[in-house]
Amino acid sequence: MDFDEYQRLALRTASPRTAPHELLHLVLGLVGETGEVAEKFKKWVRDDASDESRIDRADLTKELGDVLWYAAVLADYLDISFDEIARLNIDKLASRAERGVLGGSGDHR
């Protein structure tokens, strides 16, 4: 499966673009699901002493899937191909690696 195919399939369970406040719903959904991933790791640190053997990978797989779904549907709402997002991100990271600026901060490295 490629990214655009995933995006098309994700849209089968998305609300229509015309739903009230749909853009805000998608943005907040993405933030919320990302927060759920962070929450899992917070509890892992708190309850499991950051023991990597105790990471619940099955649960994280589900949460990361929710993050992926919101990202794909949000991108579609904005008329952005998920394949294009993936390609541009890999190109950006390859350029940073070539220039030795993977570390550090700033969008325009």
**List of residues 6+ apart from 54 with CB closer than 8 A:** 44, 48
Integer Cα distance of 23 and 26 in angstroms: 5
Give the mean model confidence (pLDDT) for residues 14-34. 98
The pLDDT tens digits for 28-78 are 999 999 999 999 999 999 999 999 999 999 999 999 999 999 999 999 999
**How does residue 104 score in pLDDT terms, banded at 50, 70 and 90?**
confident
Would the pTM of this model clear 0.75, i.e. be above it? Answer: yes
The DSSP 8-state label assigned to residue 11 in this structure reads G
The answer to whether the Cα torsion of 26, 30, 6, 109 is positive or negative is positive
